[in-house]
């Protein structure tokens, strides 16, 4: 009963996030675990938290107790990593199709600028954009529609099904747990789903969600101890290390290589000095190229942020 009341509170918060005053008050806190928290992420987070708490009694239905709760949690983690892998493969395929390095940021300029890379992927968000368009009620929520033309059409169906399964099995894994454990899993499940949709495996929401779910997975008793932190911490550190290694080893500090695409897919190559901040340059080129090109690829410079 307490969990359902909490769930109702989170649902109300999801609607209140449409109010700019409430948003400005809450966003600094959600920013910590949602990385660059936006209105869309905040609304999705509170909606998932609230709905999960309200539906949590579903896990106690004897129909779903055929399998151990840990089995359901394992399925969630497996489907999550499968989704991460698929998004990375599609990221690489897009660059292969245009004969550019996989270690670049891809920016589509029309109808609205949208970027994606193997380090921060928006592939799943774009694939779900046809669905999001039917429910999004705020112009401030960016749904990545521009990328839809560059990803396989089947991904929309896959993303819809797999995210439903991750959510459903996540709910079933709540069976016979203490309230605090249920809240932890619901929090981890919510951030995990947000990470899959917006950012991919190296994004903060994914890392937070994976850490919590692995923590609960490796808990040997109903009262998890500090020892259970070791394995999930190592897993997250490995993921972070891989992401940093990819970024650092494929950075060019001398210059940025920019490949712009015209409507006929003709490629225009140019080079920009490495002295510019990477994020600033992407924003600068986005404004400069709008109306002239349909998209562009740009190489990385990890050290430009320091």
Task: Identify which has the larger pLDDT, 183 or 59.
Answer: 183
How does the average pLDDT of the chain come out, rounded? Answer: 91
Q: What is the mean pLDDT of residues 24-46?
A: 85
Position 155 scores a pLDDT of 97
Classified as helix, coil or strand, 23 is: helix
Position 263 scores a pLDDT of 87
Task: Identify which has the larger pLDDT, 111 or 136.
Answer: 111
Position 190 scores a pLDDT of 98
pLDDT of 51 over the 90 cut: yes
- Could you tell me the pTM of the whole model? 0.93
Phi, psi at 268, each rounded to 5°: -115, 120
Task: Identify which has the larger pLDDT, 299 or 144.
Answer: 299
Position 228 scores a pLDDT of 78
pLDDT of 64 over the 80 cut: no
Q: What is the mean pLDDT of residues 143-154?
A: 90
Percent of the chain residues past pLDDT 90, beyond the cut: 74
pLDDT digits (tens, 9 = 90+) for 7-33: 999 999 999 998 889 988 998 899 889
pLDDT digits (tens, 9 = 90+) for 69-122: 889 999 999 999 999 999 999 999 999 999 999 999 999 998 889 999 999 999
User: Binning pLDDT at 50, 70 and 90, where does residue 62 land?
Assistant: confident
User: Would you state the structure tokens that stand for residue 32, as one six-digit string?
Assistant: 């910590």
- Residues with Cβ within 8 Å of 39's Cβ and at least 6 positions away in sequence, in order, are 17, 18, 23, 138, 140, 141
Position 106 scores a pLDDT of 98
The order of strands in the sheet holding 267-273 is 114-116, 104-108, 295-299, 255-261, 267-273
Position 218 scores a pLDDT of 87
Position 138 scores a pLDDT of 59
- Distance, CA of 129 to CA of 143 (rounded, Å): 6
- Residues with Cβ within 8 Å of 73's Cβ and at least 6 positions away in sequence, in order, are 169, 170, 173, 185, 213, 216, 217
Task: Identify which has the larger pLDDT, 116 or 137.
Answer: 116
Structural domain spans, the chain: 2-82+154-248
- Residues with Cβ within 8 Å of 225's Cβ and at least 6 positions away in sequence, in order, are none
Classified as helix, coil or strand, 299 is: strand
pLDDT of 224 over the 60 cut: no
Task: Identify which has the larger pLDDT, 48 or 38.
Answer: 48
Q: What is the mean pLDDT of residues 190-198?
A: 97
DSSP 220: -
Position 223 scores a pLDDT of 56
Note whether 87 and 124 are within 8 A (CB). Answer: yes
């Amino acid at each position: 009963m307490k969990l359902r009341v909490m769930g109702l509170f989170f649902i109300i918060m999801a609607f209140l996030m449409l109010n700019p005053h409430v948003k400005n008050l809450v966003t600094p806190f959600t920013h910590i675990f949602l990385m660059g928290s936006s209105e869309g992420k905040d609304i999705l987070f509170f909606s998932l938290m609230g709905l999960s708490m309200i539906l949590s009694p579903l896990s106690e239905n004897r129909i779903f107790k055929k399998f151990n709760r840990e089995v359901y949690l394992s399925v969630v983690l497996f489907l999550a990593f499968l989704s991460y892998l698929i998004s990375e493969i599609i990221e690489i395929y897009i660059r292969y199709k245009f004969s550019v390095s996989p270690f670049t940021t891809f920016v589509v300029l029309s109808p609205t600028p949208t970027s994606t890379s193997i380090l921060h992927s928006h592939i799943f968000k774009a694939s779900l954009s046809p669905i999001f368009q039917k429910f999004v009620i705020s112009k401030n929520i960016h749904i990545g529609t521009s990328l839809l033309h560059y990803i396989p059409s089947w991904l929309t169906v896959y993303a819809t099904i797999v995210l439903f399964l991750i959510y459903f099995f996540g709910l079933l894994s709540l069976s016979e747990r203490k309230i605090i454990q249920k809240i932890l899993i619901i929090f981890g499940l919510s951030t995990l789903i947000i990470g899959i949709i917006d950012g991919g495996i190296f994004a903060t929401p994914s890392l937070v969600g994976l850490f919590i779910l692995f923590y609960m997975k490796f808990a040997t008793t109903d009262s998890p101890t500090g020892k259970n932190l070791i394995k999930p911490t190592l897993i997250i550190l490995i993921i972070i290390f891989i992401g940093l290694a990819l970024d650092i080893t494929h950075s060019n500090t001398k210059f940025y290589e920019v490949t712009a695409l015209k409507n006929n897919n003709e490629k225009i190559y140019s080079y920009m000095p490495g002295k510019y901040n990477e994020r600033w340059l992407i924003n600068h080129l986005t404004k400069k190229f709008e109306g002239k090109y349909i998209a562009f690829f740009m190489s990385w410079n990890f050290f430009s942020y320091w």
